[in-house]
Amino acid sequence: MKYNFKGNFGLMEFTVDKDGNASGTYQKKGILSGVFKNQKFSGTWENKGLEGIAAFTISDGILEGNWKKGKEPGPMKSKWYGEQILDSSSSNLERDNKPPFQNERIIDEVKDKVDHLKEAINKLYNDNDDDSRDSLFNEAKALVINEQKCSTSLIQDKLKLGSNRAKRIKEELEDAGIIQLGGDGIYIVVDRYLLVIEKFEDNKELLELDEGVVNQYLWSLYLSDGNVHKCYEMIQHYEQKFKSNRWLKLKGHCYSNFKWYDYALEAYEKSNSLSYLERTQKVFKDYLDLIEKERWEMAIDYFEKNLSLSVSENNLDIAFKYCNALYRSSESNEIKALKKLKEYIEANPEYKPFLDLAGSIANFLGKYEEDIDMLADATAYYKKAGNKEGILLVKESIQKVKLVKKQKVAEEKAEKARQAANMKQLEAERRALEKDLAKEEAALEQLKKHKFKTSRGITFCQFCGKDSSWSSYDCEGRQHGHNYVLMKVDGSFTPICNKCGSNSSFSEYSCS
């Protein structure tokens, strides 16, 4: 005969021959061998270099028993618990083909199985105190949960105990289901809420008819890590199934976890959970205190961290106060305030305070930035709010903006005219200057020109005295005031300045 089980030992395949010899495997490398008679097994186990003894019974598809490390005789305090895995198609066929008295027996077996499951879940969920436990049991429990591991030496060192007492406390932790031996032979901390979830979901069809077990399952989802969203979804499912408001308080906890404090308030109030109701009300009160004291930046930060997801039709006032705080806090937040108001108005188009505040901010910004389109938006907000006074204020703002724009156009026109006149004057001055410069340049060019004349067969420049071979060079004498004539010097005629008496070699110097 072959059995398959799923339990705190993982998956187990267990085989018994006709003589009662039993063998099996569990986890990945665990091995069982022994004798199975009268639905009872006794034998040994081996797993990753460790070994020990085990004993368990199989009844109505449930495996229950104990085990210990080491093959020497002694109490077996570590527990094994598992449920038989059946082929659903074959088991249903067998049940349907059995006579009525056997079907009744199957019903009794299912009832017994459900009772066993309920008892197991209740034990895991409640973790009832045992007066026989060591007085330091709870301290050891907190220690291993915090450390996420367990060993005799850890308990001994941290709690300053002897080795025998530390070992006894470790066994008590194992009996309570707080720790279990892992596949690698090291004790690991068990999340009992996860065990409740696993056991319920593995036997959902049998257990979800019992509202009390479902309650333990839902609370285990909430109390385990990372399952709050799943908890909320399952609450909605089972509220419909049982037509019950039993889980209003738990829904309030989910809402608080999501920071949906508006819904949490309603859930706690309906479930009469006064302490949680007061705690949630304080979230809103702390925010309103900051608003009242006009601590705008702190109020903005508080709202964005805690209350941004708690805006509903029953408490739109907190969003209005947030937008007003943005508007009043600093110029850099004015546009943000108007943007947020647009979002809230889109979701709540009839809420008058949003419309009035949006009209006020749009009017202010439109007037300040001389933006006619924004002023038109302000008018639209005030019209939707039925605020005639606001409409008149925007009308005045539009008239002022138009007047200012008209004045600016006139000023720009006058400025352009002034600039054009200045440009014209500058252009005239530029042209006059260019004309004067041209005259000066022409005069300078005139000074550089030779004036050749011929006397007695000798050709020379009147102003520098040089002969015509110098015609391609500038005349240096005209600008220095020389005037050369042909004079007889030492029996021959040569050009001499009739003012200073120098010959042509001195033409580049000033005539004196």
Ranking 92-96, 311-315, 337-341, 386-390 by mean pLDDT, the lowest is 92-96
Between helix 152-159 and helix 137-147 the angle, nearest 10°, is 110
Token pair for residue 32?
Answer: 């069982």
Q: Is residue 456 predicted with pLDDT exceeding 70?
A: yes
Asked which of 52, 85, 118 is the last residue of a domain, the reply is 85
Render pLDDT for 69-78 as a digit per residue (tens, 0 to 9): 888 888 887 7
Q: Which two tokens stand for residue 269?
A: 């109030």
Domain-embedded: residue 192 = no
**Percentage of residues in the chain with pLDDT exceeding 90?**
55
**13 falls within a domain:** yes
The torsion angles phi and psi of 78, rounded to 5 degrees, stand at -75, 140
Find which of 72-86, 201-215, 268-282 is predicted with most confidence, using mean pLDDT.
Answer: 268-282
Indicate which CATH number applies to the domain containing 28. 2.40.128
Residue 465 lies in a domain: yes
CB atoms within 10 A of CB 346: 9
Section 137-159 average pLDDT: 86
Look up residue 135 and give its two tokens.
């007085």
Residue pointed to by tokens 């490390």? 69
Coil, strand, or helix at residue 134?
A: coil
Stretch 419-430: mean pLDDT: 94
Say how far residue 85 (Cα) sits from the centre of its chain: 44
Tell which residue, 205, 166, 203, 202, has the closest CA to residue 187: 166
CB 25 within 8 A of CB 13: yes
Report the number of distinct structural domains present in the chain. 2
Q: What angle do CA 51, 56, 57 make, to 5 degrees?
A: 160
User: Distance between CA 512 and CA 504 in Å, rounded?
Assistant: 14
pLDDT at 431 over 90: yes
Summarize the confidence of residues 390-397 as an average pLDDT.
95
38-42, 81-85, 228-232, 343-347: least confidently modelled range: 81-85
Residue 392 lies in a domain: no
For residue 231, being part of any structural domain is answered with no
pLDDT for residue 131? 66
Which pLDDT value is given to residue 96? 45
**Is the model's pLDDT at 95 over the cut of 80?**
no
Q: How confident is the model at residue 129 (pLDDT cuts 50, 70, 90)?
A: low
pLDDT value, residue 479: 86
Please say whether the beta carbons of 82 and 13 come within 8 A: no
Structure tokens at 137: 């049991």
Position 11 in a domain: yes
Q: Which of the 8 DSSP states describes residue 56? A: E
| pLDDT at residue number 511 | 87
Cα gap 119→375, rounded to integer Å: 71
- Summarised one tens digit per residue, pLDDT across range 185-210 is 788 777 778 888 988 999 888 888 89
- The pLDDT score that the predictor gives to residue 266 is 94
Q: Which residues contact 192 (CB under 8 A, 6 or more apart)?
A: 124, 125, 127, 177, 178
Predicted confidence (pLDDT) per residue in 175-188, tens digit: 877 788 876 778 87
Task: Tell me the pLDDT band of 309, cut-offs 50, 70 and 90.
Answer: very high
Structure confidence by residue, pLDDT tens digits, 208-228: 889 999 999 999 899 888 899
Residue ending a domain, choose from 61, 85, 109 = 85
Q: What does the DSSP 8-state code read for residue 333?
A: G
Residue 366 lies in a domain: no
> Given pLDDT bands bounded at 50, 70 and 90, which one contains residue 88?
very low
The pLDDT-based confidence of 380 (bands split at 50, 70, 90) is: very high
**What pLDDT, on a 0 to 100 scale, did the predictor assign at position 94?**
41
Beta bridge partners of residue 119, listed in sequence order: none
Distance (Å, whole) CA 459 – CA 232: 123
Q: List b or e across 135-158, with b for residues whose CB sees 16 or more CB atoms inside 10 angstroms.
A: ebbeebbebbbeeeebbbebbbee
Provide the residue range defining the domain that includes 11: 2-85
Give the pLDDT of residue 107.
Answer: 60
Among candidates 257, 252, 208, 199, which has minimal Cα distance to 228?
Answer: 257
Judged against a pLDDT cut of 70, whether residue 274 lies above it is answered with yes
Q: What percent of the chain has pLDDT over 70?
A: 93
Q: What is the mean pLDDT of residues 107-117?
A: 71
Which residues touch 331 (CB under 8 Å, ≥6 apart)?
Answer: none
Domain boundary pick from 66, 85, 104: 85
Token pair, residue 51, equals: 């070994």
In whole angstroms, what is the distance from residue 87 CA to residue 298 CA? 62
Give the torsion sign (CA, 393, 396, 397, 398). Answer: positive
Average pLDDT over residues 387-407: 94
Smallest Cα–Cα separation from 363: which of 328, 325, 391, 326? 391
pLDDT of residue 270: 94
Nearest to 153 by CA among 142, 134, 140: 140
pLDDT the model gives residue 97? 46
* Residue 23 counted as domain residue: yes
Contact 85, 97 (CB under 8 A): no
What's the average model confidence in pLDDT over 287-295? 96
Q: Does residue 481 surpass a pLDDT of 50?
A: yes
Give, to the nearest 10 degrees, the angle between helix 388-447 and helix 352-369.
Answer: 20
The per-residue pLDDT of the chain, averaged, comes to 87
- Tokens found for residue 293: 């004291």
b/e sequence 66-87, b meaning 16+ C-beta within 10 Å: ebbbeeeeeebebbbbbbbeee
